[in-house]
């Protein structure tokens, strides 16, 4: 899972390593729901680049690209509310997600840093999924 920021170049690094987080997304979603915040996957939006990768890997119908709706964009502040709740919960007990809990926490902090910059600049964002 990675962050896409609206526009061509937001002027800062938006790279996040979301591989461990993606492996634990079900547990992270349950944690978010238990905390009363929106799960991260609710910020997902399919974009042309991620769908093209999926199709290239043989996982989709090329005709979907022609009918793909425009991406949905979200306020950075809304994503930060989720991230801050998850980070606080995992700070208290990182191993509630198992042995990779500290790595999940580290990736959530990477997302938080990007979304803070996104909020400072008044930009919008969404999550996308790498199919590789």
Question: Residue 87 belongs to what domain range?
Answer: 2-128
Share of residues in the chain with pLDDT > 70 (%): 81
How many domains does the chain fold into? Answer: 1
Give the pLDDT of residue 38. Answer: 97
3-state class of 74 per DSSP?
strand
What is the per-residue pLDDT across 29-55, written as a single tens digit (0 to 9) for each?
999 999 999 999 999 987 666 665 555
What is the per-residue pLDDT across 4-32, written as a single tens digit (0 to 9) for each?
999 888 899 999 989 999 999 999 999 99
Instruction: Indicate whether 65 pLDDT > 80.
Output: no
Q: Return the residue matching tokens 């461990």.
A: 20
Give the pLDDT of residue 61. Answer: 64
Instruction: Indicate whether 118 pLDDT > 60.
Output: yes
What is the per-residue pLDDT across 82-93, written as a single tens digit (0 to 9) for each?
999 999 999 999
Q: Is 57 within 8 Å of 132 (Cβ atoms)?
A: yes
Question: CA 121, CA 72: separation in Å to the nearest integer?
Answer: 18
């Amino acid at each position: 899972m990675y962050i896409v920021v609206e526009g061509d170049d937001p002027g800062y690094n938006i790279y996040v390593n979301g591989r461990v987080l993606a492996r634990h997304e079900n547990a992270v979603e349950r944690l978010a729901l238990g905390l009363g915040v929106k799960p991260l996957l609710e910020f997902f939006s399919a974009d042309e680049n991620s769908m093209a990768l999926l199709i290239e890997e043989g996982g989709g119908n090329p005709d979907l690209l022609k009918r793909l709706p425009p991406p949905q964009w979200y306020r950075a502040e809304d994503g930060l509310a989720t991230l801050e709740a998850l980070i606080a919960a995992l700070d208290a007990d990182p191993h509630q997600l198992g042995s990779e809990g500290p790595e999940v926490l580290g990736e959530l902090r990477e997302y938080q840093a990007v979304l803070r910059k996104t909020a400072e600049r008044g930009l919008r964002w969404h999550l996308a999924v790498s199919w590789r």
